[in-house]
Structure 1
Amino acid sequence: MTSLKLFLKGIKCFMNLIIMKRLSKYLMYLLMVYGMITCNNSDKKLPNTTSNQIQFSDQQLYTIDNSGISILWTAHKFTNIVDVSGTFNTYIFESKKTSGTVENILNKSKLSIPTATVNSSNPIRDFKLDTYFFKAFNTSKIIGTITKAKENEGIIDLKMNHTSKKIPFTYAIEKDTIRLFTNLDLTYWKGEEALKTLNTECYELHKGTDGISKLWTDVDVVIKIPAHKTLIIN
């Protein structure tokens, strides 16, 4: 009886040993599979991270053409607002850098516009604008300096009528052209008297269907700068 117990006990120990070995083998197998899965997942994440970094750090470089710059202005008359648009035949745009990022090109650039070259496609109107507005406004030249340009917004220091004002503007790239947009309220430069002088001279021309002669104090301005892509830097 004692021998039988010892025999059964021996068999039990032997079976336990076999089970432990199998469990150890399965455990090792599971650890190996887990390791492979972890490594594969890590490998899959790397390209996305790298791609994001490249996308974030890419900067497009441009070269501008100063000779192709245009300045468009839009004034407003009548109570119900009718636009009168034009440009200037002569202006000087000076940039410290003619190539680089848009921000590098715009920052510290200067603009000078002789107001006698105003062009609204109407010679009689142009004469009146020069004589009854700009001369009354004491402004033979409009002078501007861009003091800040970053992330599609900027500040331009604009001098007219012996007065300098910092004016916000926005900018964007559209079809190989840098476009700057701003709105000028001429009262910031004490332009009320000059506007009154012009409106008196053009009283009937500024009269709408309601019989009121109206010339608005704000002017929309768009500056277009031709810009050609060069390369991308990281």
Structure 2
Amino acid sequence: MKKIIYSLVICFTISQAISCKSEAKKGTETTTEEVKEAKKAFVLQDATNTIEWIAYKTTEKVPVKGQFQKVNITSGGEGDSVKEAINNAEFSIPVSSIFTKDTSRDFKIKKFFFGVMDKTELLSGKLVLENDSIGYTNLTMNGVTKKLPFSYSLNGKEFALNATMKISDWQGETALNSLNEACKDLHKGADGVSKTWDEVALNITSVFK
């Protein structure tokens, strides 16, 4: 009789343990589903982000075009609309991802420009939209954080930003002179003067899925 009772107790204990595990598994599955449902409709990290820049050389102000091929969204960047996803998004851009279709130029920009700056393996900042057409980013470069105003437009799922920055605003004169010296002959115009301009235009687009 004792053996029968003992067997029944063991069976009951095992069935309870299995039941608890099933309930725990169901709870985990529900949590996972809830996380998936919580993902916003617009995610900046998943968008096609293109960061193009235009620098200038020679007295005639000849444009030199390039881009950064990588950007990381470090905070925010999600929303129920494109504007919500952009606003307050924080980002970092590795300067190693620079690309100008000229490997020699890429090397010189990395070494003699960004390489001369202080703590500039990354460019970082936060995007703030002030109204439906203008905003700013607190851009950090060369150990300096400064407000960079920009204009922007929204067209469906596409966000387009335009800005013009002065390198000297980020105390980059030494880096600019270093690059100009490394590219001295290449930056000479018809007047024989070698010049690298302080001005850089930025054109950024984000096309959401």
Fold agreement, TM-score > 0.5 = yes
Please provide the CA RMSD for this pair.
1.9
> Aligned partners of 1:174 and 1:137: how far apart in 2?
36
Question: Does structure 1 residue 83 correspond to structure 2 residue 94?
Answer: no
* 1:196 alignment partner, one of 177, 187, 193: 177
The SS at the match of 2:54 is strand
8 Å CA contact 1:106, 1:149 repeated in 2: no
Deviates more, 1:119-128 or 1:109-118: 109-118
Amino acid at match of 2:177: K
8 Å CA contact 2:159, 2:205 repeated in 1: yes
Amino acid at match of 1:218: E
> Aligned partners of 1:99 and 1:163: how far apart in 2?
29
Deviation of the 1:173 alpha carbon: 2.1
Alpha-carbon displacement from aligned partner over 1:211-231 (angstroms, at most 9, x marks no partner): 111100011111110135xxx
2:45 matched residue in structure 1: 66
1:98 matched residue in structure 2: 78
Deviation of the 1:94 alpha carbon: 4.6
> Aligned partners of 1:120 and 1:178: how far apart in 2?
23
Distance 1:149 1:64, change over 3 A: farther
> Aligned partners of 1:149 and 1:227: how far apart in 2?
21
* 2:134 alignment partner, one of 134, 150, 153: 153
1:220 matched residue in structure 2: 201
Distance 1:84 1:97, change over 3 A: closer
Deviates more, 1:202-211 or 1:91-100: 91-100
* 2:93 alignment partner, one of 113, 122, 125: 113
Deviation of the 1:107 alpha carbon: 1.5
8 Å CA contact 1:73, 1:87 repeated in 2: yes
Deviation of the 1:191 alpha carbon: 0.5
Larger Rg: 1
Which stretches in structure 2 are left out of the alignment for 5+ residues?
A: 1-40
The SS at the match of 2:188 is coil
> Aligned partners of 1:97 and 1:195: how far apart in 2?
32
Amino acid at match of 1:66: Q
* 2:190 alignment partner, one of 202, 209, 212: 209
Report the TM-score when normalising by structure 1. 0.67
Deviation of the 1:111 alpha carbon: 1.6
Deviation of the 1:95 alpha carbon: 5.8
Distance 1:173 1:100, change over 3 A: same
Amino acid at match of 2:109: L
2:153 matched residue in structure 1: 172
Deviation of the 1:210 alpha carbon: 1.1
Question: What are the equivalent positions in structure 2 for 1:34-73 lying under 5 Å apart?
Answer: 63-64=42-43, 66-67=45-46, 68-73=48-53
Deviates more, 1:93-102 or 1:153-162: 93-102
Question: Does structure 1 residue 137 correspond to structure 2 residue 117?
Answer: yes
Which stretches in structure 1 are left out of the alignment for 5+ residues?
A: 1-61, 229-234
